[in-house]
Structures are given as C-alpha cells and as structure tokens.
DNA sequence: CGCTTGGCAATACGATCGTATAGTATCCAA
DNA sequence: TTGGATACTATACGATCGTATTGCCAAGCG
C-alpha cells in the first residue's frame, strides 16, 4: 500500500480524493476491492492448472500473458500484509498439493504433512520469481513480465529442476538424497495437524 | 523502510531520535549502514557455498542458523528498493552461476546466456522462500527461520527438485523436456550480452 | 581556567497521509 | 414539482514522518 496514496489514486483516475474515500469507505476498502478483483480474475485462469495437463511453470507463464497488471499487483501485495492476497498464496499452495498428490499418490498422500510442506515450499519458490521480479529484470536485462518474455523464467525453472535432479541422482548428491528419504518416511505417514 | 521510523529505532535503542539522526546523517544513512553490516556478515558465510561441497539448500539452512535477524532483514530489504541489498541478490545469482558451471561445465558454460538465466531464476526461487517467509509461517504452522526449524524449507526444496525431475523424465513430461532442450541449444552457444 | 569538540536531548517545521465534514450539482421517484 | 438519495468537490483536522535547529553537558587540551 505504501507509495500509493488516496490522492495519487484519485489523480490517476481523474477524480477528487474525496470521491475515492466516499466510494470505498476507507483505504482498506480500496485494497479489498483490488484484492477481490484480482482474485476473481486469476482464479478462473488458475483452475486450468489443476485439472488440466498444464505444468506449474506454464501456468505462471500463461498468467503473465493473460493479465500482466494483475500479476504485478499480486507480486506487490504478497509482500504487504494484504489478507486477501494471503488466501491467494494458500490457494497456490493448495493447487501445488493437489498436483503433487495427483502425480504421486503414494509419495504425497492427501493431507499428509510431507505433501503440505512440499506444496507450500513449491508455491513460495514459484511465487518468489514474481515477488523478486524487479531483481530479475535487473539481472536478466529483460522484463519477464513483458509480453513475449514470459517463457524466460518458466523455462529456466524447468531447467533448474532437471539440473538439480541430475545433481541429486549423482554420486555427490547420493547421501543428500538418502538423508532426505529418511526424513520423508516419517512425514509421509504423519497426518498434518491443522 | 516502512514501519520503522527514526523515532521507533531510537526508542528501541534507548536513545533520542535526534541522536540517531545525528549519527547516521539521514534515514538513508541508517539503511546503508544496515546493508553494509548485513552484507559483510553474510558474505563470509556465503563464500563457503561456492568453493565448499555444501549445497544451495543447505547453504540457506546454515544461514538461517547463523544469523536469523540478518536473514529476516535481507528478506525485508529485498522487496524494498534497497540498492545495497540489490547487490546481494546479484551475488546470490553469481554464486548460483558458479555452482551451475562447476557442476556441469558443458551444460552451463561460464558467461553463456543460459547459465545467466538459470542462475538468476535459481536465486529468485531460493530467495523467494525468504521473502515469502510470512506466508510460509502461516501455511506451515511453524517458523522456518526459528532455531531448529531451518531444515523444513531446505528439505522441502530438495524434495520438490527430485519430484519435479521425476515428472519431467516421465512420459508426461517428455515433450516438455524435449522442447526445453531445443531452447537450451541456442542459449548455450550464445554469449550473454552485458 | 577557558575554550572547543562531540555525544545527546528537546523542540519545531514542513510535508504527507488517512479521514471527516460541509457543500454543490444531478437525477429519479412520489 | 419536490424532496431525498447520489456523485462529486473542496477544505480542514489530526497524526506521523524526516529533518533542521537549538541548547545542555562532560571530556579533552592549551
């Protein structure tokens, strides 16, 4: 919310500040309205990621293309304490959990602690490329949110995945993989305590 | 910087606001001092990740344990436009690039565009778990930055890597992997334009 | 002893912010 | 026609913020 005062919003909209105040009730009212708008717009698009064959990386890429401003807003709101967008993170994590469970039912049982942990971390990693968008722009020299550039990050994510898996399946990563498997044993059986 | 006024900082330090102003010159002076302090503290620790055998996930985990407050500060500063911490993102991306190049010299050549893109995305993914820390706390029910909880996210990251790689090596992900390999061909040969 | 220097506090000033209130114009139903 | 609801502006109030100013006081030094 910082850096966007009611007066700025009103000036951008071409009306007075009092009208904005009158229409939304308060500053929080503006944010709630924005959250609801973006949430609704993104939900319909995101549903395709669950029951479709679309991968998580491509899902983000298609979101970029569909609503660049909405994605930028989400990236910004995720680091504020916006309660509406907090549910969007949870929804993303739930989508990841469903995807993990659908892909490996015995490895990521529904409701298990391991599925919950992995899904949350996965959502944080993918949304992290959004939140740190400004740094990626500076590092890459191009804007991944610009039209036609959406593939850069999603492809890189997939490539990192494959590279990391190769590393973990090598001799160097064998002990890491073994230690990880032990921890997973306990978590897989444990139901998540809500 | 939002949410931490000079008066708050002075009250927390037990001194007057005027002294803080006098000592650091301005509000930006405080941030620069904090950036320099954290940067120096974290650099020595991070160097182990490059030439050591330590993985990136374990590197983050050990950073958690070494300086919880420093990590929290970085997570906060990464989403502000702090110029000092911006170099920290670049340093993390450079570390990732070095690690990628050391692990697969022919796959990720030094200075190649593909290495640069992958390293930046990798840094964003890993640092994303820091920046979105508040959401992870809410989702997981525990604080990954709390002492003794550092392993949760790092293990989950590794597990997601293995799961993703299994997905990409399966029949379903075969075409994705194939399309990815084509794009990589061009990027590997191309030198990065600075 | 007198003077300067630096740590430190207290206060004030201007800017910005969210919000409240009063006032004006428009429009639609009774 | 009229009266109230609605869209909209203008202005003001209180709070908070960064910053500048002033002054006190102890330490060091000739």
The alpha carbon of residue A26 and the mean position of all alpha carbons in its chain are separated, in whole angstroms, by: 28
Rounded to two decimals, what is the model's pTM? 0.86
Q: Give distance CA A99 / C1' C9 (Å).
A: 60
Cβ contact, residue pair A103, B177, below 8 Å = no
Q: How far apart are CA B120 and CA B4, in angstroms?
A: 30
pLDDT-based confidence at residue B58 (cuts at 50, 70, 90):
low
Strand D CB-contacts below 7 Å = A 10, 15-19, 21-23; B 1, 4-8, 17-18, 21-22, 26-28
Cβ contact, residue pair B162, A180, below 8 Å = yes
Higher pLDDT, B67 or A54: B67
The CA angle B99-B105-B111, to the nearest 5 degrees, is 75
Partners of A183 on chain B (C-beta within 8 Å) are 151, 155
Render pLDDT for A49-104 as a digit per residue (tens, 0 to 9). 555 545 555 666 677 767 788 888 888 899 888 888 898 899 889 989 998 998 88
In this structure, are residues B74 and B38 in contact, taking their beta carbons and an 8 Å threshold?
Answer: yes
Burial of A186 (0-12, 13-18, 19+ CB in 10 A): exposed
Partners of A140 on chain B (C-beta within 8 Å) are 116-117, 120
Q: Which residues pair with B191 in a beta bridge?
A: B112
How would you label A70-83 residue by residue, b for 16+ Cβ within 10 Å and e otherwise?
A: bbebbbbbbbeebe
Hey, how many other C-beta atoms are within 10 angstroms of the C-beta on A32? 16
In this structure, are residues B173 and A162 in contact, taking their beta carbons and an 8 Å threshold?
Answer: no
Q: What length does chain B have?
A: 194
Q: Is the pLDDT of residue B56 over 70?
A: no
- Closest residue (CA) to C1' of nucleotide C11 is B18
Higher pLDDT, B101 or B174: B101
The CA angle B90-B92-B94, to the nearest 5 degrees, is 70
Q: Give distance CA B19 / C1' D30 (Å).
A: 30
Q: What share of chain B is helix, strand, coil (3-state, %, to 5)?
A: 75, 0, 25
Q: Is the pLDDT of residue B61 over 70?
A: no
Hey, how many other C-beta atoms are within 10 angstroms of the C-beta on A134? 16
Render pLDDT for B114-168 as a digit per residue (tens, 0 to 9). 999 999 999 999 999 999 999 999 999 999 888 778 788 888 988 888 888 777 7
Return the beta strands (E) in A39-120 as ranges.
Answer: none
pLDDT score for B59: 62
Sign of the torsion formed by the C-alpha atoms of B59, B64, B70 and B71: positive
Of A79, A165, A169, which is closest to B131 when you measure between CB atoms? A79
- Closest residue (CA) to C1' of nucleotide C17 is A5
Mean pLDDT computed over B90-105: 90
């Amino acid at each position: 919310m910082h850096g966007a005062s009611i007066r700025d919003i009103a000036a951008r909209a071409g009306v007075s500040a009092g009208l904005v105040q009158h229409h939304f009730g308060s500053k929080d009212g503006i944010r709630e309205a924005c959250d609801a708008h973006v949430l609704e717009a993104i939900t319909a698009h995101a549903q395709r990621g669950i029951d479709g064959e679309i991968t998580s990386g491509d899902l983000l890429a298609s979101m970029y293309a569909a609503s660049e401003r909405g994605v930028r807003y989400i990236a910004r709101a995720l680091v504020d304490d916006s309660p509406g967008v907090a549910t969007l993170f949870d929804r993303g994590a739930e989508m990841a959990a469903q995807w993990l469970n659908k892909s490996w039912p015995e490895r990521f049982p529904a409701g298990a602690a391991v599925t919950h942990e992995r899904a949350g971390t996965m959502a944080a990693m993918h949304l992290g490329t959004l939140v740190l968008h400004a740094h990626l722009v500076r590092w890459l020299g191009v804007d991944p949110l610009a039209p036609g550039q959406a593939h850069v990050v999603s492809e890189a994510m997939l490539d990192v995945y494959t590279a990391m898996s190769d590393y973990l399946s090598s001799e160097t990563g064998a002990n890491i993989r073994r230690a990880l498997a032990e921890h997973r044993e306990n978590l897989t059986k444990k139901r998540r305590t809500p």
